[in-house]
Amino acid sequence: MMSGGELARFRKRLLAWYRQFRRDLPWRGTRDPYRIWLSEIMLQQTRVAAVIPYYEKFLQRFPDVRTLAEAPQEEVLRLWSGLGYYSRARNLQRAAQQIVARKEGERGSEFPRKLDEALALPGIGAYTAAAILSIAYGEKLAVLDGNVARVLARLGAMRGDLRAPGRWQSLQQMADSVLDSGSPGDWNQAMMELGATLCTPRLPQCLLCPVASFCEGRKLGIAEMLPEKRKKREPVAVMLAAAVFVDSKGRTLLLAPPKKEEGSNWAGAADHVPTLVSKLWHFPTISVRENPVEELLRSLRELFGGNNRRLELQPLGKVRHAVTYRNITIVPFLIVLAKLPRIASATILPLDGLASLPISNLTRKVAASALPGAASERRPLPRGDGGKLKAEGKAAARAVAGYR
């Protein structure tokens, strides 16, 4: 790409721009590896604006590695609830536990300084390790994430799928070649900041870019076309049905996080419910094949151990949700009872107080659909000690026919 005086000018301009115009973010201005590590994990596939409140609240409860390592996992997940991609939180705590458990004589509860030791931790890949080690310890490692890859592709006018075999390695070599070894932490953040604020996927702001004169993509007039779009996986439609039990006190019932299924060969299925509820507390939920009412009633009978008690299902407003390539429609039903059933794997809590447990955004949306005044298409909530629906099973099925 560049060398000699041209590369020196490129580095000088980008670093000067970053130091003057960088965003004031809570994890900037610190060399604490724990705080930098936490920010990098939270920022994976999540917007900065969404991360900030979670980051600050998480640090209040878990200010250091040891506190995180010793905390109950459910509490860690509760503070992560709503941020999504919960494996990040589980791996974060597992890594903290491994750091704390290191033998005496090694560094205390500190993120490792060596690249191979960092990569050995759960949830730490090449990008995350380079980011933490360069920013916290000044290690001469260049980061390569989506933002940096886009910047490099435009600078070098690189065509094609950036994730194609061999191309990502070429991008890493480009990142290594332009790295400012005198300020690797600032440099990596400058490259990421440029991609996040000016060299954006759509409508790059080339007139404001501090290094536009070095960009081959701009010179060729193809900057906006780069990088070329990847072929996305075809979306898959998934339908779920969920049961929201509510008693006369406004309390509901949530099932415990699903246990790990050993030997399961269908956990990767698009409609795998434990995956869709992020393996957290959830309403009784099933994947629907044909008839939401009949299939949900059959599942609830199994849940109650074959009890044939009569359940009246009141359709609520349908809920939309998306997880990676899945387009999910949830058909929630309100079931009003005088007394909630006792189930070993369930807990009872106020419908408007689910934040006390770790739940997924899918579960949060289902709960919202059952709150008073949640949706215009929802039927009026039956009054009294459980009430009765006027519609029987077939009528209820007709009421949700439009969801199929």
- Cα–Cα distance for residue pair 24/230, rounded to 1 Å: 32
Q: For 40, phi and psi rounded to 5 degrees?
A: -65, -40
Average pLDDT over residues 90-94: 97
Under 8 Å CB-to-CB from 1, ≥6 apart: which residues? Answer: 7, 155, 156, 174, 177, 178
φ/ψ region of 141 (left if φ > 0, alpha if ψ in -120 to 50, else beta) reads beta
pLDDT at 158 (0 to 100):
93
pLDDT at 181 (0 to 100):
96
Reported confidence tier of residue 31, pLDDT bands at 50, 70, 90? very high
Q: Is the pLDDT of residue 167 over 80?
A: yes
Q: Residue 360: helix, strand or coil by DSSP?
A: coil
In the chain, which segments carry CATH 3.90.79.10? 236-403
Average pLDDT over residues 8-31: 96
Q: What is the pLDDT of residues 172-185, one digit of tens each?
A: 999 999 999 999 99
Which of 209, 43, 3 minimizes the C-alpha distance to 135? 43
Average pLDDT over residues 108-132: 93
- Cα–Cα distance for residue pair 50/78, rounded to 1 Å: 16
* Helix (H), strand (E) at residue 314: strand 314-315
Share of the chain above pLDDT 90, in %: 75
Using CA of residue 272, residue 276, residue 280, residue 284, what is the dihedral sign?
Answer: negative
| Alpha-carbon distances of 147 from 86, 208, 264, rounded to whole Å | 23, 17, 37
In the chain, which segments carry CATH 1.10.340.30? 4-225
- Cα–Cα distance for residue pair 176/167, rounded to 1 Å: 14
Average pLDDT over residues 117-127: 96
The answer to whether the CB of 152 falls within 8 A of the CB of 223 is no
pTM higher than 0.75: yes
The DSSP bridge partners found for residue 327 are: 237, 322
The answer to whether the CB of 155 falls within 8 A of the CB of 1 is yes
pLDDT at 377 (0 to 100):
44
pLDDT at 109 (0 to 100):
67
Average pLDDT over residues 217-222: 95
Reported confidence tier of residue 395, pLDDT bands at 50, 70, 90? very low
Share of the chain above pLDDT 70, in %: 87
Average pLDDT over residues 277-303: 93
Catalytic machinery residues: 40
Task: Give the CATH superfamily of 236-403.
Answer: Nucleoside Triphosphate Pyrophosphohydrolase (3.90.79.10)
Average pLDDT over residues 256-271: 69
- Cα–Cα distance for residue pair 134/169, rounded to 1 Å: 19
- Cα–Cα distance for residue pair 101/87, rounded to 1 Å: 21
Per-residue exposure over 211-243, b if at least 16 CB sit within 10 Å of its own CB, e if not: bbebbbbbeeeebeebbeeeeeeeeeebbbbbb
Average pLDDT over residues 216-229: 93
Q: What is the pLDDT of residues 340-391, one digit of tens each?
A: 988 888 999 999 999 999 999 999 999 999 997 654 344 443 333 333 333 3
Which of 171, 172, 177, 144 minimizes the C-alpha distance to 158? 171
Q: What is the pLDDT of residues 37-67, one digit of tens each?
A: 999 999 998 999 999 999 999 999 999 999 9
Measured N-to-C along each axis, helices 184-197 and 146-155 cross at an angle, to the nearest 10 degrees, of 80
Per-residue exposure over 295-328, b if at least 16 CB sit within 10 Å of its own CB, e if not: bbbebbeebeeeeeeebbbbbbebbebebeebeb
Q: Is the pLDDT of residue 104 over 90?
A: no
Reported confidence tier of residue 306, pLDDT bands at 50, 70, 90? low
Average pLDDT over residues 87-91: 96
Task: Give the CATH superfamily of 4-225.
Answer: Hypothetical protein; domain 2 (1.10.340.30)
